[in-house]
Amino acid sequence: MKKLLTAAAVGAGIIMMMAPAVQAEELHFVMCGGEVREADQKVIDTFLANNPDVTVNMEAVPWGTCQDKSMTLAAAGDPVSLAYMGSRTLKQLAQNDLIVPVEISEEEQASYQPGILNTVSSDGKYWGFPHAFSTKALFINCQLIEDAGLPCVGPKTWTGLYNMAKAVKDNTGIAGIGLAGKDFDNTMHQFFSYLYSNGGSVINADTNEITLNSPQTVETLELYGKLLDVAQEGPTAFERSQIKALFNDGKVAMYIQGPWGRGAHKAGMKVITVPVPAGPSGVSGTLLITDSIAVFNGTGHEDTAMELARALSSGEAQYDLDSSWGLTPIKQYENGIVDKPYYENDDYWKVFVDPIGSGGPEPMFVDFKSLQTSINSMIQGMLLGEDSAENLVAIAAEELEEFK
Distance CA 12, CA 362 (A): 60
Choose among 383, 361, 39: nearest CA to 200: 361
pLDDT confidence bin for 206, thresholds 50/70/90: confident
pTM listed for this prediction:
0.89
Distance CA 106, CA 279 (A): 34
Q: Specify the higher pLDDT residue, 19 or 176.
A: 176
Distance CA 360, CA 63 (A): 23
DSSP for 90-122?
Answer: HHHHHHTT-B--B---HHHHHHBPTTGGGGSEE
**Residue 36, strand partner residues:** none
Distance CA 306, CA 128 (A): 10
Strands (E), 345-397: 360-361
pLDDT at 10: 42
- Residues 135/329, Cβ–Cβ less than 8 Å: no
pLDDT at 23: 64
Element (H, E) at 57: strand 54-61
C-beta neighbour count of 41 within 10 angstroms: 13
pLDDT at 55: 97
Element (H, E) at 48: helix 38-50
pLDDT at 14: 42
Please count the CA atoms within 13 angstroms of the CA of 126 that sit on its side-chain side. 18
The pairs formed by 149-155 with CB atoms below 8 angstroms and a separation of 24 or more are 152/270, 152/272, 154/272, 154/274, 154/275, 154/277, 155/274, 155/277
Does the pLDDT value for residue 4 go beyond 70?
A: no
Location of each CATH 3.40.190.10 domain in the chain: 25-134+289-353, 137-285+365-400
Residue range 104-123, pLDDT digits in tens: 999 999 999 999 999 999 98
pLDDT at 24: 80
Fold held by 25-134+289-353: D-Maltodextrin-Binding Protein; domain 2 (3.40.190)
Residue range 59-102, pLDDT digits in tens: 999 998 999 999 999 999 999 999 999 999 999 999 999 999 99
What's the Rg (C-alpha) of the chain? 25
For residue 177, give the DSSP letter: B
Domain 137-285+365-400 has CATH 3.40.190.10: yes
Choose among 214, 194, 258, 203: nearest CA to 91: 203
Distance CA 366, CA 92 (A): 4
pLDDT at 310: 98
Amino acid at the residue 69:
K
Amino acid at the residue 369:
K
Choose among 74, 70, 186, 71: nearest CA to 136: 186
Amino acid at the residue 100:
V
Element (H, E) at 45: helix 38-50
pLDDT at 3: 39
Angle between helix 368-383 and helix 215-227 axes, rounded to 10 deg: 50
Residue range 5-48, pLDDT digits in tens: 444 444 444 444 444 445 689 999 999 999 999 999 999 999 99
- Residues 24/54, Cβ–Cβ less than 8 Å: yes
Number of residues that make up the chain: 404
Distance CA 380, CA 391 (A): 13
- Residues 200/216, Cβ–Cβ less than 8 Å: yes
Distance CA 325, CA 380 (A): 33
Average pLDDT over residues 298-318: 97
**Angstrom distances, CA of residue 364 to CA of 83, 232, 237, 302:** 18, 31, 27, 24
pLDDT at 41: 98
**Angstrom distances, CA of residue 274 to CA of 193, 195, 246, 256, 257:** 13, 17, 19, 10, 11
Residues above pLDDT 70, as percent of the chain: 94
What b/e readout covers 153-174, taking b as 16+ CB neighbours within 10 angstroms?
Answer: ebbeebeebbebbbbbbeebeb
